[in-house]
Amino acid sequence: MKYTIATAIDSPVTKGYSIRATRSLKRMPTILRKNGFRVVIYFDDHLPAHVHVMNADSEVKIDLGSSANPPQIIQLNGKRGDAVKALELVTAHQNELLEAWRQIHGEP
């Protein structure tokens, strides 16, 4: 399955643009897109380190956890099935998402 990492981290998609360059342009950069989901981290967000995962029907707020703890659902607005899929997506990409959080906010 194909996914792209975009906007907030240095990747082929961003072509080397830094977070500082995008900070003034977007309040919620998309970090990952996969299977109809969009994963974002808000620039002005708070601890714990978390992401907002959205699709057409739902939004799920997921705590990113740590190397010792898996991600956990914090809040769900939408379908339970979407929350399960969102949690699976975040769990599969936990390290990349934690690194994106660190780049935007510093250490969690």
pLDDT of residue 17: 34
pLDDT of residue 11: 40
Which residues of the chain fall short of a pLDDT of 50?
1-26
pLDDT of residue 14: 34
Query: Dihedral of CA 57/90/72/104: which sign?
Result: negative
pLDDT of residue 28: 76
Q: What is the pLDDT of residues 54-83, one digit of tens each?
A: 999 999 999 999 989 999 999 999 999 999
Query: Dihedral of CA 95/76/34/106: which sign?
Result: negative
pLDDT of residue 107: 79
pLDDT of residue 24: 39
